[in-house]
DNA sequence: TTGAAAGCGCTAACAC
DNA sequence: GTGTTAGCGCTTTCAA
């Protein structure tokens, strides 16, 4: 039993031609109010929904956005919160009558193979736009292919809004709060990310006016025991960090626990910030601040841009879209000015 | 610049009719080897990929599977590992020329509204099948709608393979290892899940031959400090659990830490198992066992079933698909027989 | 084994 | 403002 009901049925029920029905659903102004009302009534009565496939064929607009991403290497965690992107993206798109199609490239696929795979998908689905998720967003061949096919392409970081460096931003923020001894504990799932964060952190502390006279850096926090041990070794001595940046939320929570067991109050004696947000951070006592890339918001915004570009008529130039912040600070009670003395 | 290249171009290049090209890509046996070869060559030369939209219109098969799920209530975590499902599902489907479309229902939407939303999507996308993720899999109106539209419907738990109860299975497993004093620490993101796990755990220990003479149950492990404190309060006394089930991986890791600090060897003196798998569990010392629902595998299997049903010709009855286990035990070095004495 | 014809449900480009 | 005419790229049905 196929859907059966088509534009033709609606046209008949409303006593107009299919074209008029088409105009109504496409928001053409050139329809009389009466006709429009009758058509809308008929649509509601019949419960008709236009077929995407038919609209795609006839109109050249598929209302499909392709999301291209690299699958994680086996055994390792995805660098992106795919579930969050999925939730945010589907909500954004479905509100505008668009849908998302996800295209997974095998990790470490050769550029030629990746291009071939993308080409096949473009041919099959004919998406109206594509979103290249990192690290695919830096693949020239993919971008070239999209351009040659005339398919709009977006990334999480639109032109003029380069990705922020959470490590750098966190260090900067703490520095501005007067901290001079800032610790950094690595642990991001993606080693490349740790490298960047660490580089940013070091860059900030190396500024000539930073007056940071000692770095506390742990390249990695493996298990809980090691993390607790590390935190203790940092916090027990008289000369200790007054602020700590932890890449992982779990690490920040462990440090918080050690601090409390040492009678160091957060944030009075120690400021804490994580480079990953997690519900557990907001639930701890005190809630811990986080500074992270708002991937889901950036993704939604990318979807919006593609849709706006496709929907824009010559008459209505697309208005400059609102860009979400590149980095988002979840300011919670774990940050304070550095104590006077140490 | 549209895709331009169509079946017609391929037909010309291969000097056959479009019909023959169609037969080749649809694996019809009624094509001569020569014709098939020429067509395949032409397809490769031109880099042609048949349009999904056109095939959908003409053939009535969209090669689209709809994934219906409830979005999480604002502020809470999704109960399902959506990212994992996305990875597994897209891989499975794209290998067979199918694609996944995700449909998010607002949490707590009324049945009528949910049905209307699904109906709209069915009309627009005309998917070949649908997968209802929990808790949508229990919504009668949705299943009825799908059935009335003749759309195949699957869930993670196929008929005859009801969802397992991780709490019950873990308790059973530990009981079989001779443990009589088994602790349970709650903490699943979804309260309903905790309730089920706990009920299963209690059911097992209530068996007349269980000989479990004391229950250790913590309804919830909030932050790290509380978890460590709880573990200590359980493990210091002479009468202590010889095995602990932790809903969260982080909880299990915290317990492990406390055990080691108390010179209790895992698994010699204490067996540990988590009801959630996480890379950190495999990386700890010793690696911690996990017992969980293999959601991604179940999801892939559901996709396979839908595709197999759609592809099956009258000649080839669909072979009974392999069902993944309902629960998966990641057996790691943290489980052992109960010590003789306590 | 192959081909010709007739759509699938919709929109673009024209008339009126 | 509205209707008419042609397709979009493929599969189905039928005939050869």
A154 CA to D6 C1' in angstroms comes to 35
Residue that is last in its domain, among A125, A155, A185: A155
The CB-based long-range contact list for A279-282 (8 Å cut-off, 24+ gap) reads A279/B75, A279/B76, A279/B77, A280/A249, A280/A250, A280/A253, A280/B223, A280/B250, A281/A249, A281/A252, A281/A253, A281/A330, A281/A332, A282/A330, A282/A332
pLDDT greater than 70 at residue B316: no
Q: Is residue A302 part of a domain?
A: no
Same-domain pairing of B126 and B210: no
Q: Which among A306, A272, A274 is positioned nearest to A286, based on CA atoms?
A: A272
Residue B276 to residue B257: CA distance in whole angstroms = 18
The answer to whether the CB atoms of B101 and A104 lie below 8 A apart is no
Q: Backbone phi, then psi, for B241, in 5-degree steps?
A: -65, 145
Residue A305 to residue A290: CA distance in whole angstroms = 27
Handedness of CA B249, B250, B255, B259 (dihedral sign): positive
Structure tokens at B195: 């309730």
Q: Is the CB of B120 within 7 Å of strand C?
A: no
Contact A236, A262 (CB under 8 A): yes
Structure tokens at A232: 């203790």
Report the CATH number that the domain containing residue A47 is assigned in CATH.
1.10.260.40
Same-domain pairing of B193 and B281: yes
DSSP codes joined into one string, B149-209: TT-EEEESS-TT-PPP-HHHHHHHHHHHTT---EEEE---SSHHHHHHHHHHHHHHHHSTT
Same-domain pairing of B39 and B113: no
Closest residue in chain B to residue A146, using alpha carbons only: B1
pLDDT greater than 80 at residue B163: yes
Scan for tokens 């079989």, then name that residue.
B176
* pLDDT reported for residue B2: 44
Same-domain pairing of B93 and B143: yes
Closest residue in chain A to residue B146, using alpha carbons only: A1
Q: Give me the residue from B99, B225, B284 closest to A257, CB to CB.
A: B225
Q: Is residue B334 part of a domain?
A: no
pLDDT greater than 50 at residue B203: yes
- How many residues are recorded in chain A? 342
The predicted model scores a pTM of 0.94
Q: Is the CB of B120 within 7 Å of strand D?
A: no
Same-domain pairing of B91 and B134: yes
Supply the range of the domain harboring residue A22.
7-55
Hey, is B124 helix, strand or coil?
helix
Q: Is residue A137 part of a domain?
A: yes
Same-domain pairing of A175 and A210: yes
pLDDT in tens, B320-341: 677 778 899 999 999 999 986 5
Ramachandran bin of A304, using left for φ above 0, alpha for ψ from -120 to 50, beta for the remaining angles: alpha
pLDDT greater than 80 at residue A50: yes
What is the arithmetic mean of pLDDT over B239-268?
Answer: 95
* pLDDT reported for residue A1: 40
pLDDT greater than 80 at residue A321: no
Contact B102, B313 (CB under 8 A): no
Same-domain pairing of B34 and B131: no
Same-domain pairing of A51 and A68: no
Structure tokens at B144: 């009825």
Q: Is residue A326 part of a domain?
A: no
- CB pairs A-B closer than 8 Å: 159
* pLDDT reported for residue A316: 65
pLDDT greater than 50 at residue A106: yes
Task: Kindly state the greatest CA–CA separation across chain B.
Answer: 86
Q: Is residue B19 part of a domain?
A: yes
Among A57-66, A313-322, A324-333, B35-44, the range scoring the smallest mean pLDDT is: A313-322
Contact A183, A245 (CB under 8 A): yes
Q: Give the end-to-end CA distance of chain B in Å, rounded to a whole number.
A: 77
Scan for tokens 């597994």, then name that residue.
B88
Residue that is last in its domain, among B155, B184, B214: B155
pLDDT greater than 50 at residue A2: no
* pLDDT reported for residue B128: 98
Q: Give me the residue from B53, B126, B284 closest to A126, CB to CB.
A: B53
Q: Is residue A274 part of a domain?
A: yes
Cα distance from B206 to chain A (closest Cα, Å)?
33
pLDDT greater than 80 at residue B32: yes
Residue that is last in its domain, among B123, B155, B187: B155
* pLDDT reported for residue A315: 62
Same-domain pairing of A39 and A129: no
pLDDT in tens, A179-229: 999 999 999 988 899 999 999 999 998 886 667 666 788 877 678 889 999
Same-domain pairing of A84 and A200: no
Q: Is the CB of B4 within 7 Å of strand D?
A: yes
* Strand B328-330 relative to strand B289-292, pairing: antiparallel
Q: Is residue B150 part of a domain?
A: yes
pLDDT in tens, A265-300: 999 999 999 999 998 899 898 999 999 999 999 999
Strand D: positions under 7 A of a protein C-beta atom: 1-13
Using alpha carbons only, give the angle A220, A226, A229 rounded to the nearest 5 degrees: 115
Interface test with A, best of B60, B92, B106, B124 (most A CBs within 10 A): B124
The answer to whether the CB atoms of A225 and B260 lie below 8 A apart is yes
* pLDDT reported for residue B151: 97
Same-domain pairing of A34 and A130: no
pLDDT greater than 60 at residue B231: yes
Q: Is residue B71 part of a domain?
A: yes
pLDDT in tens, A125-161: 999 999 999 999 999 999 999 999 999 999 999 888 8
Burial class (CB in 10 A: 0-12, 13-18, 19+), B188: buried
Confidence of residue A322 (pLDDT cuts 50, 70, 90): confident
The answer to whether the CB atoms of B2 and A60 lie below 8 A apart is yes
* pLDDT reported for residue B1: 39
Query: To the nearest 10°, the Cα dihedral for A330, A227, A192, A301?
Result: -20
The answer to whether the CB atoms of B52 and A51 lie below 8 A apart is no
Same-domain pairing of B37 and B104: no
pLDDT greater than 90 at residue A42: yes
* pLDDT reported for residue A339: 83
Report the CATH number that the domain containing residue B120 is assigned in CATH.
3.40.50.2300
Q: What total of structural domains would you count in chain A?
A: 3
């Amino acid at each position: 039993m196929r859907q059966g009901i088509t534009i033709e049925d609606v046209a008949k029920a409303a006593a107009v031609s299919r074209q008029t029905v088409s105009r109504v659903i496409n928001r053409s102004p050139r329809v009389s109010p009466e006709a429009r009302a009758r058509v809308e009534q008929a649509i509601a009565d019949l419960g008709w929904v236009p077929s995407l496939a038919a609209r795609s064929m006839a109109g050249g607009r598929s209302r499909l956005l392709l999301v291209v991403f690299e699958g994680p290497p086996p055994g390792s965690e995805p660098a992106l919160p795919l579930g969050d992107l999925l939730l945010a993206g589907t909500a954004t798109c479905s509100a505008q009558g668009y849908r998302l199609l996800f295209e997974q490239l095998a990790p470490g696929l050769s550029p030629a193979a990746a291009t071939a795979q993308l080409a096949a998908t473009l041919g099959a689905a004919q998406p109206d736009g594509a979103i290249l998720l990192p690290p695919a967003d830096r693949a020239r061949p993919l971008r070239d292919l999209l351009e040659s096919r005339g398919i709009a392409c977006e990334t999480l970081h639109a032109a003029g809004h380069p990705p922020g460096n959470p490590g750098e931003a966190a260090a900067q923020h703490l520095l501005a709060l007067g901290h001079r001894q800032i610790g950094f504990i690595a642990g991001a799932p993606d080693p490349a990310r740790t490298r960047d964060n660490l580089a940013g952190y070091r860059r900030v502390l190396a500024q000539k006016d930073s007056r940071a006279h000692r770095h506390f850096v742990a390249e990695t926090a493996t298990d809980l025991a090691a993390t607790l041990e590390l935190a203790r070794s940092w916090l027990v001595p008289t000369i200790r960090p007054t602020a700590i940046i932890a890449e992982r939320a779990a690490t920040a929570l462990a440090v918080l626990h050690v601090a409390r067991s040492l009678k160091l109050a957060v944030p009075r004696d120690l400021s804490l910030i994580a480079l990953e947000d997690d519900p557990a951070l907001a639930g701890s006592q005190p809630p811990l601040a986080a500074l992270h890339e708002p991937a889901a918001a950036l993704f939604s915004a990318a979807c919006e841009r593609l849709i706006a570009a496709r929907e824009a008529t010559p008459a209505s130039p697309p208005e400059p879209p609102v860009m979400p912040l590149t980095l988002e600070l979840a300011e919670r009670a774990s940050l304070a000015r550095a104590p006077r003395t140490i």
